[in-house]
Structure 1
Amino acid sequence: MAVSKPLPRLLSWFSRPTLSTQLTIIGLIITLFFVIVAVFGSAFQAWGWLQDPRESLSNPISQAPSAEHWFGTSRQGYDVFSRTLFGAQAALQVVLLATTLSLLAGVPLGLISGYLGGKLDKVLLFVMDSIYAFPKLLLAMTLAFVVGRGILNAAIAVSISFIPQYYRVVRNQTTSVKTELFIEAAKALGASPARVLSRYLFLNVLQSIPVLFTLNTANAIFILGGLGFLGLGLPEEVPEWGHDLKLALDALPTGIWWTALYPGLAMTLMVTGLSLLGEGLSEYFNPRARNNE
C-alpha cells in the first residue's frame, strides 16, 4: 500500500489554491498540448486536419493569415500553421532524446564519483567543470559541426552540455547521503558497492532528477532552435522552429511578419510551459519549500 501514497500526495499538492500550484497546472496544460500535437500530428495530417508541412503550394507566394491558411504561408510556399505544429514533433524528439542521453551519462557518473571519491572523483570533476565552462549553444555548435545534421546527431550535440548538471547534483547528494547510518549498516551487512549505489543511494537522489530533466528539456529547446537558426540542426526539409525563423528573417523587411511570429511564439510558449512545470516539481520535491508554505 505504500507504493500508492505518492500519487494521492501529488494530487493533494496540485489541489492547493496557491499561486505556485496554479502556475504548475498551467505549465502542465501547455506541455500536454504540445505533447499531444507532437504525438498525433501525423494522424491529424492523415485525417485532413493539417496540411503536409513539407509540401510547397503550387503558387509559392507568401499569403497573409486567412481562413484557408490560419497562420499564412511562407515565401517558400509552406503552410505556416502546419510547420508550426509539426515543429513541436521535431523539438520533442530531439530534446527528449538529448536530455535522456545526458541523464543516462550524468547520473551514474555522479553516483560513482560521489561514492568512491579519490582520484576518480577529482578527474571527473575536472572534466565536468571544463564542459560546464563552455556556453551551451557554443558547445552544441561545435559538436554539430563534427557530427552533422539529423535527429540523433542534434540530440548528441545538445546532450553533452547537460551532463555536468546531472553529475554535480547527483554527486553532491551522494557525497552527503553516503555518510548516513543506513548506508554504513548496509555495508556492515555485506552489501556490495553496486548494491549500495543502486538500492540505497540512487533512491535517495532520485527526487532531484525529474526537476532537472524538465528544466533541461526547456533549455534544450532554445539550444535546438539556435542550431536550426544557424543551419546546424535538422535537415532543411524537417519542420523545425529555429530553421523556420531563419527563413523568416529575410521576409521581415518586406512586411511578412507571420512567418516569424508563430514559430517564435510556439517555441517561447513551450519553454514557458516546461519551465513552469519544472519549477512546480522543484517545489514539490523540495521538503523545505513545502514546510515553508
Structure 2
Amino acid sequence: MATRVLQRAATGLKQTKNGFRAHGQVSVIARSLAAHREDSWFKSLFVRKVDPRKDAHATLLSKKEDNNLYKIQFHNVKPECLDAYNTLCEDVLPSIHTDPEYPCELVGTWNTWYGEQDQAVHLWRYRGGYPALTEVMNKLRQNKRFMDYRTERGKMLLSRRNQLLLEFSFWNEPVPRPGPNIYELRSYQLRPGTMIEWGNYWARAIEIRQQNQEAVGGFFSQIGSLYTVHHLWAYKDLQSRDDTRNAAWQREGWDEVVYYTVPLIQHMESRIMIPMKSSPLK
C-alpha cells in the first residue's frame, strides 16, 4: 500500500512544473506514511489480549462452599398506600422467613429514604441455589395466606422488578445485625465484559472498607438487568457514613481502586434505606 502511494506521488512529480514543490509533497507523504506505521505499531502494544476462559464469571467470582442464591425486589408503592404496604409485609414476610418448610431467609427489608421515593426493597437468600428457589415458589403457590398477600399487595403497587444475584466470594455473607442503622445500597451498571476486572479490584478494596464493619454484602446479577453489581453498607447515621467514606481516602490503595473501577461503570445509583420493623438487618 505504502509503495503504491509513493509510486503515484513520484509519477505526479514528473508532471509538475515546480519540481521543488513536488519533491516536498513526496517527502510529506513519506513522512506521513512512516509516522502512520510507527503509530500503528505503538498502538498495537496496548491492544488487550483476552485469554480464553472455560468458566463463566459467576463460577470464578461467587462463593462455592454455600451455593446461596439471592433475590432482590424493588417495589414502587403508591404514596398513599405506603403505611398499609409496610404493615402487610410485616405481617406476612416474617412467617415465611421463620418457617423451616421454606429453604429461604429474609436477609433485609427496607423503605428507601433518599433515592427513589415510596419504594420498598426486599433481599431474600435461598440456601441451595436454584432448586431451593423453585421449591419455595412452588410451595408459595399453595400457600393461601401468601396468595392473598400478593393480591392485596398488587393493589398498592405502581411497579415492581427483581433480580437474581450471586454473592462475591470476597464479601461478607449478610447476617442479622442490631440497630439502629441506616443502609446504603450502591448499584452499579457495568460495561459488558468487565465483571472479572471489577472483582479483581474489589477483592483488594474490601479489606480497606471493612475496618469500621460497614460492609454488609456484595452481589452481582445473574437474571434481570445483567452486569449489575450491588454493594450493601451499614452506618449509624448519615454523618458516620460521610466520615467513614472520607476516611477511606486516607488509606493506601483506595484512590487506585476508584481510579481503575470508575471507567468500568456505565451508570451508578445510591439509595439510603431505613429497615422495616421486621427486617433482620436492623
Q: Which has the higher strand share?
A: 2
Q: TM-score, normalised by structure 2?
A: 0.20
Q: Which has the higher helix share?
A: 1
> Who wins on radius of gyration, i.e. which is larger?
2
Q: TM-score, normalised by structure 1?
A: 0.19
